[in-house]
């Protein structure tokens, strides 16, 4: 039940065909697969069926990355 909820929440932001692709990929193995596998399948479907959102998420993640260097002063 928890995995079904996780799949439903993860696929809510996908187009209908993307959510259907995740459902087909996980139909027989959902009870045995890890949360990481669910996330991988969702991202795979997002790349295939919603490339604009995939790029937006990639850019957003890149903007959040930064490094601070403190030189001894």
Distances (CA, A) of 64 to 6, 52, 61: 25, 19, 5
Instruction: Look at residue 46 and tell me if it is in a domain.
Output: yes
Instruction: Look at residue 21 and tell me if it is in a domain.
Output: yes
List helix spans (H) across the chain.
Answer: 2-11, 16-26, 35-49, 51-64
CB 39 within 8 A of CB 10: yes
Question: Mind listing the pLDDT tens digit for each residue in 18-32?
Answer: 999 999 888 888 888
Question: Mind listing the pLDDT tens digit for each residue in 37-61?
Answer: 989 989 899 998 988 988 998 999 9
Q: pTM higher than 0.75, yes or no?
A: no
Q: Would you tell me the crossing angle of helices 16-26 and 35-49 to the nearest 10 degrees?
A: 140
- The residue segments making up the domain with residue 26 are 2-64
The predicted pLDDT at position 66 comes to 85
Instruction: Look at residue 69 and tell me if it is in a domain.
Output: no
Provide the domain count of the chain.
1
Instruction: Look at residue 22 and tell me if it is in a domain.
Output: yes
């Amino acid at each position: 039940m928890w995995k079904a909820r996780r799949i439903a929440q993860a696929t809510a932001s996908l187009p209908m065909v993307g959510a259907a692709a995740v459902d087909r990929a996980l139909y027989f193995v959902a009870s045995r697969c890890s949360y990481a596998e669910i996330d991988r399948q969702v991202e795979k479907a997002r790349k295939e069926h919603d490339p604009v959102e995939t790029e937006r998420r990639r850019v957003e993640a890149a903007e959040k990355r930064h490094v601070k260097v403190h030189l001894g002063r």
